[in-house]
């Protein structure tokens, strides 16, 4: 139920303020997503905002280790 | 031998002058012995360089701005801090790992600061360098894609240092949303990077934009961007905020189109248009770098600038400085002000010393423009179609005061009977002299960079380079050492024309010789500014 940030992150910080769930935070080397907070932007926007604003393709990607987010019915 | 201000300041520190006042005192004394020339004749009102072309209220705003006033940039300094690395568009000449190519040299990473750190840095620098009168927030990234950080920095600085002018540069996408805040913080200069006004052209420069929670690509993206840029520009003009336009000249993509851009921005009230060369190379990892898109030659750039000049003021002295460059344009003192050093500093912002120093600089400036005005008379009555270029080695203050071997760049002046000595730009070169002796290769680099010039004016030059320059058809002139640039150039030009008339000099048009913007493949840019030693 979340996106994750790959090692290709260039630390530009563009994604951080765009997240409607404040799920993105800086770490020493790159930015990271808190999977407990990320809703894949469901309920807010049509597409994941972090992936749209990120300048490096394939950096904000679906985290396969989590089941896809299910919006509350 | 003449010492630079910095050397004097350093010597003063060594001699035990620990507070700023003592240093200023030493610097002021040093300055005093430089101003004994005949240049003190008062320039009559309205003849100082640059003043003619602009409405008085605009001239008032630009005259102390080292980026905008050709004349002021010899005397005043600006600094850029970067607090906002995020961006909301993608440019094909940018790789976000590095600085924003809009304002800075690609391939150099700037230090990233919090607003609090940035504000402290600015105050520390301003307390040490009294000429520092302008603070800009620029790339990497777009300051308005990160408005909270940008405006927080402005707020902190304007509270302690109300005398510092604030400016920012932006790609313009969110500009209309922030114009009122910009006005509230009294930001007096905004730079917008406008590379096109035609979405078809824009689609080749911008692969995508992020706007209102969506990603747009292709022509649609470029259409939104240009509409927002023009709307933002109009809103700034309505509020009396100065706007400068930067354009990156990309041969084959927007080079001819930039004339239309020039008209479009002028009609919306932009006061200055700065056309910069694309600097691109594969190791920057940008799209243009990887596709082998070349940048323009110095001649192509000048030709385009010339063809726009009739339309509005062109800025020729922009050297695409690094966004965090500190000091007089081109003189980078960043190493003295790293975040670590600054956080340890005790900053005491001394407005009075700064004002006293700036008053001193004003006198020096009057002297320079006085010299220029009086010397223009020298050419009165002489008419000729001949135009020549000369290169000048200078450390600032409008004088020929740099040793040929120490010059990291040359200022280029065009001499004609119509305009006198007209500044047209900079050519950056590698340090030719590394520790006292010249190096063959480096000299060749210099020759390549200035080979469209007839002469190079220096404070001093060795016998060997002088001979080599002469073999390349460039006369090395050291007889005007420490004199004012314009005055010397005009004296030289007058003599040249007399020589041609008397048949002792055969005029050769060197304008077709192609001077390079970048020497070799190394990431050292002849026109770009960063006065950091080449990596
Ligand atoms: S997908 Fe949306 S919710 Fe998840 S981290 Fe990205 S911006 Fe935040
Ligand atoms: S936008 Fe992309 S590159 Fe920038 S910090 Fe976020 S994940 Fe990293
Ligand atoms: S606006 Fe600046 S930071 Fe953003 S993509 Fe263009 S050059 Fe890079």
**Total Cβ atoms within 10 A of residue A14:** 27
Q: Rg (Cα) of chain A, in Å, rounded?
A: 11
Task: Write the residue in A10, A14, A46 that is nearest to B97 by C-beta.
Answer: A10
Query: How much is the pLDDT for B335?
Result: 63
Q: Name the band, by pLDDT with cuts 50, 70 and 90, for residue B332.
A: low
The complex scores an ipTM of: 0.91
Mean of pLDDT values over B220-243: 95
**Is residue B250 within 8 Å of B93, Cβ to Cβ?**
yes
User: How many angstroms separate the CA atoms of B8 and B23, rounded?
Assistant: 8
Chain B residues with a Cβ under 8 Å from any Cβ in chain A: 84-88, 90, 96-97, 140-141, 145-146, 148, 210, 213-215
Query: How much is the pLDDT for B330?
Result: 47
Query: How much is the pLDDT for B416?
Result: 86
Chain B CB contacts of A53 below 8 Å: 86, 88, 210, 215
Question: Which fold is adopted by the domain B76-344?
Answer: TIM Barrel (3.20.20)
Helix (H, G, I), strand (E, B) or coil at B39: helix
Q: Which residues line ligand 2 (CB under 6 A)?
A: A 5, 9-15, 30-31, 53-56, 59-60
Query: How much is the pLDDT for B28?
Result: 34
How many CA within 13 A on the CB side of residue B65?
24
Q: Name the band, by pLDDT with cuts 50, 70 and 90, for residue B61.
A: low
**Which domain covers residue A9, as residue numbers?**
2-63
Q: Name the band, by pLDDT with cuts 50, 70 and 90, for residue B250.
A: very high
Q: Whose CA is nearest to atom 6 of ligand 2?
A: A15
Q: How far is A45 from chain B (nearest CA, A)?
A: 7
Query: How much is the pLDDT for B317?
Result: 46
Higher pLDDT among residues B526 and B381, named by residue: B381
Assess whether the C-beta atom of B69 lies below 6 angstroms from ligand 3.
Answer: no
Task: Write the residue in B87, B210, B214 that is nearest to A12 by C-beta.
Answer: B87
Mean of pLDDT values over B291-309: 84
A72 inside domain? no
Residue B242 has pLDDT above 50, yes or no: yes
Q: Name the band, by pLDDT with cuts 50, 70 and 90, for residue B223.
A: very high
Exposure class string for B344-364: b at 16+ Cβ within 10 A, else e: eeebebbeebbeebbebbeeb
User: How many angstroms separate the CA atoms of B422 and B323, rounded?
Assistant: 27
What confidence tens digit (pLDDT) does each residue in B423-463 have?
777 777 654 433 333 445 678 778 888 888 999 999 999 88
Query: How much is the pLDDT for B214?
Result: 95
Query: How much is the pLDDT for B219?
Result: 97
Q: How far is A10 from chain B (nearest CA, A)?
A: 6
Respond yes or no on whether the N-terminal peptide bond of residue B140 is cis (omega within 30° of 0). yes
Among B32-46, B52-66, B75-89, B437-451, the least confident range = B32-46
A21 inside domain? yes
Mean of pLDDT values over B231-243: 93
What is the residue-averaged pLDDT of chain B?
Answer: 73
Residue B280 has pLDDT above 80, yes or no: no
User: How many angstroms separate the CA atoms of B50 and B486, rounded?
Assistant: 14
In percent, how much of chain B has pLDDT > 90?
23
A70 inside domain? no
A29 inside domain? yes
Query: How much is the pLDDT for B195?
Result: 96
Query: How much is the pLDDT for B484?
Result: 86
**Total Cβ atoms within 10 A of residue B37:** 15
A13:B146 CB<8 A: yes
Q: What does the domain layout of chain B look like in residue ranges?
A: 1-54+350-377, 76-344, 381-531
Q: CATH top-level class for B381-531?
A: alpha beta
What confidence tens digit (pLDDT) does each residue in A10-25 have?
888 899 999 999 999 9
User: How many angstroms separate the CA atoms of B43 and B369, rounded?
Assistant: 7
Domain holding A36: CATH number?
3.30.70.20
How many angstroms separate the Cα of B231 from the Cα of each of A41, B161, B203, B266, B345?
31, 31, 19, 13, 43
Number of domains present in the structure of chain A = 1
A71 inside domain? no
Q: How far is B397 from chain A (nearest CA, A)?
A: 39
């Amino acid at each position: 139920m979340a996106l994750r940030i790959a090692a290709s992150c260039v630390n530009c910080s563009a994604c951080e303020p765009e997240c409607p769930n404040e799920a993105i935070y800086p770490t020493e080397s790159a930015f990271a997503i808190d999977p407990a907070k990320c809703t894949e932007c469901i309920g807010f926007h049509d597409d994941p905002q972090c992936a749209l604003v990120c300048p490096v393709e394939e950096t904000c990607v679906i985290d396969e280790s989590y089941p896809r987010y299910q919006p509350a019915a | 031998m003449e010492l630079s201000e910095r050397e004097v300041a350093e010597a003063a520190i060594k001699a035990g002058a620990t507070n700023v006042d003592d240093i200023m005192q030493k610097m002021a004394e040093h300055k005093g012995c430089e101003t004994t020339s005949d240049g003190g004749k008062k320039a009559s009102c309205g003849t100082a360089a640059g003043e003619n072309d602009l409405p008085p209220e605009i001239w008032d705003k630009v005259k102390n701005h080292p980026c905008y006033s050709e004349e002021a940039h010899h005397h005043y300094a600006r600094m850029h801090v970067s607090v906002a690395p995020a961006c909301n568009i993608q440019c094909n000449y940018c790789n976000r790992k590095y600085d924003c190519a809009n304002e800075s040299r690609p391939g150099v990473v700037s230090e990233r600061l919090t607003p609090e750190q940035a504000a402290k840095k600015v105050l520390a620098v301003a307390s040490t360098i009294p000429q520092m009168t302008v603070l800009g927030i620029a790339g990497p990234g777009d300051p308005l894609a990160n408005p909270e950080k940008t405006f927080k920095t402005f707020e902190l600085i304007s509270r302690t240092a109300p005398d510092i002018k604030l400016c920012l540069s932006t790609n313009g996408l969110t500009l209309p949303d922030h114009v009122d805040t910009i006005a509230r913080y009294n930001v007096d200069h905004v730079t917008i990077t406008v590379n096109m006004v035609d979405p078809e052209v824009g689609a080749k420069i911008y692969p995508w934009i992020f706007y209102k929670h969506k990603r747009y690509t292709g022509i649609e993206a470029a259409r939104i961007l240009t509409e927002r840029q023009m709307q933002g520009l109009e809103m700034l003009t309505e509020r009396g905020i100065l706007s400068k336009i930067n354009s990156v000249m990309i041969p084959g993509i927007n080079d001819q189109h930039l004339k239309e851009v020039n008209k479009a921005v002028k009609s919306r009230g932009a006061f200055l248009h700065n056309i910069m060369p694309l600097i691109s190379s594969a190791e920057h990892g940008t799209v243009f770098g990887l596709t082998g898109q070349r940048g323009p030659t110095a001649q192509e750039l000048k030709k385009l600038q010339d063809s726009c000049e009739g339309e509005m003021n062109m800025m020729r002295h922009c050297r695409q400085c690094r966004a965090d460059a500190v000091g007089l344009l081109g003189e980078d003192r960043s190493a003295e002000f790293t975040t670590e050093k600054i956080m340890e500093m005790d900053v005491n912002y001394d407005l009075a010393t700064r004002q006293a120093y700036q008053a001193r600089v004003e006198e020096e400036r009057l002297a320079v423009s006085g010299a220029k005005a009086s010397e223009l008379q020298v050419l009165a009555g002489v008419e000729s179609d001949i135009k020549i270029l000369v290169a000048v080695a200078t450390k600032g203050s409008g004088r020929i005061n740099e040793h040929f071997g120490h010059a990291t760049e040359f200022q280029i002046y065009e001499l004609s009977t119509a305009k006198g000595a007209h500044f047209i730009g900079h050519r950056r070169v590698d340090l030719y002299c590394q520790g006292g002796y010249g190096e063959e290769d480096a000299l060749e680099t210099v020759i390549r960079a200035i080979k469209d010039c007839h002469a190079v004016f220096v404070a001093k030059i060795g016998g060997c380079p002088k001979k080599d320059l002469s073999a390349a058809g460039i006369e090395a002139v050291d007889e005007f050492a420490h004199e004012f640039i314009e005055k010397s150039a005009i004296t030289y030009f007058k003599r040249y024309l007399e020589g041609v008339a008397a048949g002792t000099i055969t005029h050769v048009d060197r304008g077709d010789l192609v001077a390079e913007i970048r020497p070799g493949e190394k990431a050292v840019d002849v026109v770009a500014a960063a006065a950091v030693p080449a990596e």
